[in-house]
Structure 1
Amino acid sequence: MYTASSVFLKSLADSGITHAFVNWGSDHPALLEDLERQMIEPNGQTTLEIITCPNEMVALSAAQGYAQVTGKPAAVIVHVDVGTQSLAGAVHNVDRSRTPVFIYAGASPFSSQGELKGTRNEWIMWIQDIPDQSAIVRQYMRHTAQIGSGSTIAQSVRRSLQIATSEPKGPVYLWARREVMEEEVPESLLEVSYDLQNWPSVEPCGLSPAAANRIASALLSANAPLIITSFLGRNPHAVSALLALSTLLSIPVVSACPTAVNVPFSHPCFAGVTFLAPGTHSPHLRTADTILVLDCDVPWIPKNDCPTPSTRVFVLDSGDPLRTTVAMGAWHVPAELVCRADAELALEQIVEAARKIDEQGAAVGEQVLSTADVRARGQALASQHAALVRELDEAEALYQELPGAPVSVPNIMGVLRRAIREGTPSRGRRSLVLNESISNYPKTWLHMRTEFPGGALSSGGSSLGWALGAAVGAHIGGKIAGLQEDCKDYDLIVAVVGDGSFMFGAPSSAYWMARKYNTPFLTIILNNGGWKSPKLSMLGVHPNGHGSRASGERLSVGFGPDCPNYSQIAVAASAGWAWGERVGDKRENVKDGLERVIAEAIKVVVQERRCAVVDCIVESI
């Protein structure tokens, strides 16, 4: 017997979905029954690989990590309204990061007298029935729809995936009543292919010739051009296009609130990272006369730092330049030109236009690209980059040697970076850093000095608890993406989290999943004893107020006096499979202890293929 659920699962598989991260409930009998049918048939396996997730937010975070690595959506299956709500802040993250994910939730049956198969037979089905289930998540979704019949499921699935994978990419949400998914269907429906051949994603678009020429002319005539980006590196191919333009004209590139590697750290045009706190933006912002804002949600905060009113500004975004789909309410960047264009295509067009304009100028003695000004700008950028490297080196080498002194974040990141290079087969080239260090975002991005596009990611949103689940999903996605010749996963995945982020990540579920599905990763916890960001927010408004002199404990943002033993949470959740240790707790010299523990942790992950957790005590809030 085949049901609408049979068609649903086949439609997902035919459309390229390989994994479903699931949290089952009373609305899923037909799905469970069909999965077992698939198992006992001659093929002996399900069309989708099912990843059991004891926590829904971890499920969606894992699906996000999978999609961030592969560029392809995974499915998430949850239980009625309560499971939808338990997706929690991960819904915000997949929306803001423009990550394609297919979410399905069942719903309470609509019949109660035994009229249809799947009718109500449990008391919870009355209290879990709400007027508009998709309203819970609709404002974060690219598309929501109710499945009404087994005969239309394939079309609903394909339309949803077409939307999810078109710019601006993002999550979609389908739901169905239990009776609908129990509907018996003819075998002929299972003989049809439900691939996406005639449901393609919308092709990326470039700039109009006029726009490309206008931007190229502005950059050619600028004395102090600047590029600001945040997430261009989500498309690794766009990085080389960005480097082509920045190198051609010696333009500094600043990563504002980065969520991906936009520029290799060692490139002289890399002008640093900012998370826009007052006085922390690049000095280039205040001197720039032309700025290209490229795939960036917030290039600057007017109250904190901003360019001069005379600065020419151009905004390019791959799918939502006015933030109407990835809805942000009040949003505005003052610009003379706003364009919807794929970054890779647009940058190639700008480079081509710049070269043509320069060739035309050469005929009348007005060539720009080979002038002394461009060369001097390039030399200045190289000098500034060398100064940045020296500053980072000095910070990483400066250890506090007092008894019981905490370890610094630069120390940790420097040791970690070197240990990855020495302890992985590819010397770090196939390592992935998932950065959810929040108040330590800038230090982590800078001190890890990531070189490779795709080598570091963050959630793209502000809901904490992404990294642990994302590490599991990224490990699974790494195998699918074939990141190594033998299609194994990464050499090493590292999740860098704060102690608050760690607890938000439902570690009991995340490490259970890591053990069950054999997805080892290293967790570095920057343990400052609580939530530092709320305290920083308070100081941003009340720098000299009553709270400015209070400890984290007094402000109720601290986790003391006895903080959890975080590493042992992972050990317990994985039934002793994970390994963990704490550094900076007075037991030995901080420098020696840090190097020993991180080297051991990498060995555990890379050679023994187990999870490792290093709990680093940093300066307390």
Structure 2
Amino acid sequence: MFTTSSAFLKTLRESGITHAFVNWGSDHPALLEDIERQRVEDSANAGPKIITCPNEMVALSAAQGYAQVTGRPAAVLVHVDVGTQALAGAIHNVSRGRIPVLIYAGASPFTTQGELKGSRNEFIFWLQGYIVRQYMRHTSQINSGTNVAEVVLRSLQFAKSDPKGPVYLWARREVMEEDLSEEKYKKSLDLRKWAPIEPSSISEKAANLIAVGLISAKKPLIITSYLGREPSAVSLLVALSDLLAIPVFTSCPTTLSFPHNHQNFVDLSYGMGENTWLREADFVLVIDSDIPWVPMNNRPRDDAEIFHIDVDVLKENMGSFQIPATRRWKADATLALEAILNQLNGLWTTMSAEARGLVQKRDQELLLHHSKLQKSLDAAEVDFPQDGTFTTPNLIAVLRTTLPPQTLFLNEGISNYPLVWSHLRSTRVGSIITSGGSNLGWGLGAAIGAYIGQEVDKDSPRTGTEGNDFICLVVGDGSFLFGAPSSGYWMAKRYSTPFLTIILNNGGWKSPMLSMLSVHPNGLGSVATGQQLNVSFGPDAPDYAGIASAAGGAWGKKVTRASELRESILEAIRVVREEKRCAVLDCIIQSF
């Protein structure tokens, strides 16, 4: 016998969703029944693969990690409004990170006397309500099995169209229990008729305007944050930068958008510090960036020409956003860069001697700057404290030179975000990602989802990437706890997704303290300890490696001495590679 739930799961499977990260509840009897029907009657066509998740936020973070690696959406199934609420800040991350995910939640039955299969028979159904909308690209209710496929496919159109993001479906229990004829269940789906919106480019006129602006500028600058979400765009940005010797600055990066060993990569920032490149530029091209600069800390010249290209150029879900751009285009970065390069190839031969001279001068300046930047990184990496401990640059340098070359890094270092990015010196497209949002606790679930994703794509990695065969999560101690490690490491063991976790243990929540100091640099709190400010986890901090071991049999070690780093990392690699279990290194860095 087939039901709406049968058609729902069939539609997910046939639309290319291979995995569903699930936290079951009382609204899911028909789904559970159909999963067993698939096993008994039609195991060859069963799916999607169910990943049991004891924590909803970990489930959505895992779906996010899967999509970040594969570029394809996964499904997340949760329990009515309380399960939706338990997704918590992970909803923020997938929305801000523009990650395609399909979320399904049940809803309380609407009948109470047994009139239909699935009527209310538990007290909790009188307590449940509704919540989501503002973070979703689309929300819809499934009202009948006769059109469930259309509802799902329309939702996926939104999820996979720029700006990509999460979609949310819900259905009453009676609806998911509704009987469906074999004819309706087996009705074929023509996925071509439900294709997402094709990416769009900029016009030839716009491309020419940008090309001329870049050629004419004395101090051009390109700023990006997440252009590397589409790997094919990175090589085009490199080609553009090379052609005119244009410096590239990454602001609040979420994925590798420009190789850090390239001489034209000038720096990265999360909005703090002095950005002289921005302050001196006379032409700024912002491409795929939510926060190209923080005006209180840095701003472009008043006479600078600013152009903005983005898949979400008006930042529709942001309450406040404004950069003083005189031209804006909603466009795909790959197609836009192709159009600009086409124009430049035509203009290159007619460039004046003066313009060519400026390009040559910038090229030499960038080469000199690159050399200085590398030397400053080198100096920080070898400057070990005299007491035998180590700093974040010391640690990341050893990590970079010890881990396998095809490692995928997940950066949730938070107060150490910039240091992790800078000292990993990433060069490979698809080799490093962050959550894309500001909710903490993404990393553990994302590592599990990323592992599953790279296994799915092992023989054909995402276009523009080289593929990964090892996963390392670099996470702050506070974010580690936010990630529900008891659920995360249990899942990693059950589904054989071993990865290495590097905990940057500075003794608590450093970021709130830094925020206070940025507003009250000379206030009473500026001389207070972390314990006095109640942001410290000391003096008796949790046993982070012990938590992972108890939850999922992970191997773990606390590392306090610089002399232990390389040997500890090598042993962790062996555990992950040979024993196929997670490894956790609790790395004690300078406390506060």
- Normalised by the size of structure 2, how large is the TM-score? 0.97
User: What is the Cα deviation at residue 10 of structure 1?
Assistant: 0.2
Q: For residue 121 of structure 1, what is the amino acid of its counterpart?
A: N
Unaligned ranges ≥5, structure 1: 585-589
2:563 match: 592
Q: Is the 8 A contact 1:16 1:195 kept in 2?
A: no
User: What is the Cα deviation at residue 45 of structure 1?
Assistant: 6.5
Q: Is the 8 A contact 1:491 1:606 kept in 2?
A: no
Structure 1 distance, partners of 2:93, 2:43, is 37
Structure 2 distance, partners of 1:117, 1:547, is 61
Structure 2 distance, partners of 1:489, 1:294, is 25
Structure 2 distance, partners of 1:394, 1:603, is 30
User: What is the Cα deviation at residue 47 of structure 1?
Assistant: 1.8
Q: 2:193 is paired with a residue of what secondary structure?
A: coil
User: What is the Cα deviation at residue 154 of structure 1?
Assistant: 0.2
2:309 match: 316
CA distance 1:158–1:581, shift in 2 (3 Å): same
CA distance 1:474–1:483, shift in 2 (3 Å): farther
Q: Is the 8 A contact 1:476 1:489 kept in 2?
A: no
Q: Is the 8 A contact 1:358 1:368 kept in 2?
A: no
Matches within 5 A, 1:212-231: 212-231=207-226
- 2:157 matches 1:158: no
1:528 match: 506
User: What is the Cα deviation at residue 482 of structure 1?
Assistant: 2.4
- Normalised by the size of structure 1, how large is the TM-score? 0.93
Q: Is the 8 A contact 1:468 1:510 kept in 2?
A: yes
- Bigger Cα displacement from structure 2, 91-100 vs 193-202: 193-202
Selected match of 1:461 from 426, 437, 440: 437
Q: Is the 8 A contact 1:419 1:602 kept in 2?
A: no
1:76 match: 76
User: What is the Cα deviation at residue 70 of structure 1?
Assistant: 0.4
Matches within 5 A, 1:193-592: 193-194=188-189, 196-277=191-272, 280-318=273-311, 320-324=312-316, 327-359=317-349, 361=350, 366=352, 371-402=356-387, 406-420=389-403, 424=404, 428=405, 430-482=406-458, 490-574=468-552, 576=553, 578-584=554-560, 590-592=561-563
2:577 match: 606
User: What is the Cα deviation at residue 196 of structure 1?
Assistant: 2.2
Selected match of 1:137 from 108, 129, 132: 132
Q: For residue 323 of structure 1, what is the amino acid of its counterpart?
A: K
CA distance 1:490–1:245, shift in 2 (3 Å): closer
Q: For residue 449 of structure 1, what is the amino acid of its counterpart?
A: R
Q: Is the 8 A contact 1:220 1:368 kept in 2?
A: no
Q: Is the 8 A contact 2:389 2:562 kept in 1?
A: no
Structure 2 distance, partners of 1:569, 1:346, is 48
Structure 2 distance, partners of 1:75, 1:436, is 23
CA distance 1:106–1:195, shift in 2 (3 Å): farther
User: What is the Cα deviation at residue 528 of structure 1?
Assistant: 0.5
Structure 1 distance, partners of 2:497, 2:187, is 35
Structure 1 distance, partners of 2:353, 2:158, is 45
Structure 2 distance, partners of 1:596, 1:353, is 53
- Bigger Cα displacement from structure 2, 505-514 vs 599-608: 599-608
Structure 1 distance, partners of 2:365, 2:335, is 29
Q: Is the 8 A contact 1:141 1:173 kept in 2?
A: yes
Q: 1:139 is paired with a residue of what secondary structure?
A: coil
* Deviations 1:538-558, CA, capped at 9 Å, x for gaps: 111110001000111110111
Structure 1 distance, partners of 2:304, 2:577, is 49
Structure 1 distance, partners of 2:517, 2:91, is 29
CA distance 1:223–1:538, shift in 2 (3 Å): same
Q: 1:140 is paired with a residue of what secondary structure?
A: coil
User: What is the Cα deviation at residue 96 of structure 1?
Assistant: 0.2
Q: For residue 500 of structure 1, what is the amino acid of its counterpart?
A: G
Q: Is the 8 A contact 1:266 1:451 kept in 2?
A: yes
Q: For residue 504 of structure 1, what is the amino acid of its counterpart?
A: F
CA distance 1:274–1:42, shift in 2 (3 Å): closer
User: What is the Cα deviation at residue 368 of structure 1?
Assistant: 6.4
Same amino acid, percent of matched pairs: 56
CA distance 1:281–1:257, shift in 2 (3 Å): farther
User: What is the Cα deviation at residue 406 of structure 1?
Assistant: 3.8
Q: For residue 313 of structure 2, what is the amino acid of its counterpart?
A: P
User: What is the Cα deviation at residue 109 of structure 1?
Assistant: 0.4
CA distance 1:501–1:291, shift in 2 (3 Å): same
Q: Is the 8 A contact 2:454 2:469 kept in 1?
A: no
Structure 1 distance, partners of 2:417, 2:459, is 26
Q: 2:168 is paired with a residue of what secondary structure?
A: strand
Structure 1 distance, partners of 2:467, 2:297, is 42
- Bigger Cα displacement from structure 2, 490-499 vs 179-188: 490-499
Structure 2 distance, partners of 1:461, 1:269, is 27
Backbone CA RMSD of aligned residues = 1.5
User: What is the Cα deviation at residue 491 of structure 1?
Assistant: 2.1
Structure 1 distance, partners of 2:410, 2:551, is 21
Structure 1 distance, partners of 2:499, 2:188, is 37
Q: Is the 8 A contact 1:10 1:194 kept in 2?
A: no
Q: Is the 8 A contact 1:4 1:150 kept in 2?
A: yes
- Bigger Cα displacement from structure 2, 44-53 vs 140-149: 44-53
2:52 match: 52
Structure 2 distance, partners of 1:77, 1:265, is 38
* Deviations 1:203-246, CA, capped at 9 Å, x for gaps: 11111111111111110000000000000011111000100100
Q: 1:482 is paired with a residue of what secondary structure?
A: coil
Q: For residue 490 of structure 1, what is the amino acid of its counterpart?
A: N
CA distance 1:567–1:489, shift in 2 (3 Å): farther
Structure 2 distance, partners of 1:444, 1:208, is 38
User: What is the Cα deviation at residue 400 of structure 1?
Assistant: 1.2
Structure 2 distance, partners of 1:14, 1:492, is 30
Structure 2 distance, partners of 1:582, 1:241, is 43
Structure 2 distance, partners of 1:484, 1:123, is 49
* Deviations 1:115-164, CA, capped at 9 Å, x for gaps: 00000001111112x2xx2xx22000000001100001000000000110
2:168 match: 173
User: What is the Cα deviation at residue 591 of structure 1?
Assistant: 2.2
User: What is the Cα deviation at residue 512 of structure 1?
Assistant: 0.4
Q: 1:84 is paired with a residue of what secondary structure?
A: helix
Structure 1 distance, partners of 2:450, 2:184, is 34
CA distance 1:282–1:603, shift in 2 (3 Å): farther
User: What is the Cα deviation at residue 484 of structure 1?
Assistant: 6.7
Q: Count how many residue pairs are aligned between Structure 1 and Structure 2.
A: 589
* Deviations 1:5-57, CA, capped at 9 Å, x for gaps: 00000010011000000000000000000000000115366321000000000
Q: Is the 8 A contact 1:436 1:467 kept in 2?
A: yes
Structure 2 distance, partners of 1:523, 1:368, is 52
Structure 1 distance, partners of 2:259, 2:354, is 26
